[in-house]
Amino acid sequence: MFSNTTPVGAYRGAGRPEANYYMERPRRHRRGRDRHRPHRAAPPATTSRPRRCHTRARTANTYDSGDFTALLDRALALADWDGFAAGRAESRARGRLRGRRHRRLPRTDRRIGPRDGAAIRFEADGAVTIITGTLDYGQGHASPFAQVLSTRLGIPFHKIRLLQGDSDALIAGGGTGGSKSMMTSGKAIVEAGEKVIEKGREIAAHVLEAAAADIEFRAGWFTIAGTDRSVGLMELAEKLHAGLEIAGRGAAEPRCREH
């Protein structure tokens, strides 16, 4: 295929790999200089971890691991870098061209930050709403997000709804992109689920007339340890909407239904 534009595919058009390539290319091709030298010299030594990244100080990124030099050497060995001349000659004999290039591009791991969050809301009609700031514009977030919540809390899959991009319902959200949705918002849903279990355990203790420390949660049910006495999470939500009196709190308030 012939094109008048440069294709970008391996990194989804992120832009950073290409910029990295153009910055490194001039120093790689200085006469008499080992093209691998910048890669071996630039990364901080393995023994100096953790080390703050000075090239992007405003983000306060820190290298906490990674043996970059050993990784480079391993990659060169697997690619048979030293055998390139023979391979190129073979390609030319078959009327083909062969090239080679490598570059180093560190990427941070994906963690929940101030731009990503999730909330779980139990509705009066028996549904459960996941509120997220990670906008779905065709990826199909509703199903995997519902799977995460259903697995963690035992909520029936068909009862779960997704509310996204509503700034009145969620104050933080970084949108989607860069394959981050499940890793950030998915993790936020898990942590929101932990809050539901934590608060639900207190309410279940009141309903079951037991100490909160004796309440166990599994597959959507709160159970008094060592007994068969239990109450379901969805049943608790229904009781709250019906105006369950909670010891020390009075009638249930909206804050008890949203986490």
Q: How confident is the model at residue 148 (pLDDT cuts 50, 70, 90)?
A: very high
122 and 225 belong to one structural domain: yes
Q: How confident is the model at residue 206 (pLDDT cuts 50, 70, 90)?
A: confident
| Structural domain boundaries, residue 123 | 118-256
141 and 95 belong to one structural domain: no
CA 88 vs CA 32, 36, 78: distances in Å: 22, 20, 17
226 and 243 belong to one structural domain: yes
pLDDT at 84 over 70: yes
pLDDT at 91 over 90: yes
For residue 166, the domain's CATH number is 3.30.365.10
What is the per-residue pLDDT for 156?
A: 92
Give the whole-angstrom CA distance, residue 138 versus residue 176: 11
For 178, residues 6+ apart whose C-beta sits below 8 A from its C-beta are 12, 14
The domain boundary, picked from 50, 81, 109, lies at 109
pLDDT at 255 over 60: no
What is the per-residue pLDDT for 42?
A: 58
202 and 221 belong to one structural domain: yes
Averaged pLDDT, 5-27: 67
- Triad 70, 74, 77: Cα angle to 5°: 140
133 and 174 belong to one structural domain: yes
Lowest mean pLDDT among 12-21, 105-114, 208-217: 105-114
Number of domains in the chain: 2
213 and 154 belong to one structural domain: yes
125 and 88 belong to one structural domain: no
124 and 242 belong to one structural domain: yes
What is the chain's mean pLDDT, rounded? 77
What is the per-residue pLDDT for 14?
A: 65
Query: Is 97 contained in some domain?
Result: yes
158 and 104 belong to one structural domain: no
Query: Is 23 contained in some domain?
Result: no
The domain boundary, picked from 66, 83, 109, lies at 109
pLDDT digits (tens, 9 = 90+) for 29-40: 654 555 666 566
Query: Is 182 contained in some domain?
Result: yes
The domain boundary, picked from 80, 109, 138, lies at 109
pLDDT digits (tens, 9 = 90+) for 39-82: 665 555 555 667 776 654 455 667 777 778 888 889 999 999 99
Query: Is 5 contained in some domain?
Result: no
Give the whole-angstrom CA distance, residue 257 versus residue 250: 14
pTM (predicted TM-score): 0.58
137 and 245 belong to one structural domain: yes
Query: Is 19 contained in some domain?
Result: no
102 and 39 belong to one structural domain: yes
Q: How confident is the model at residue 258 (pLDDT cuts 50, 70, 90)?
A: very low
Query: Is 244 contained in some domain?
Result: yes
Name the region of 179 (left: φ>0; alpha: ψ -120 to 50; beta: rest). Answer: left
pLDDT at 251 over 50: no
Give the whole-angstrom CA distance, residue 72 versus residue 15: 22
Query: Is 144 contained in some domain?
Result: yes
70 and 197 belong to one structural domain: no
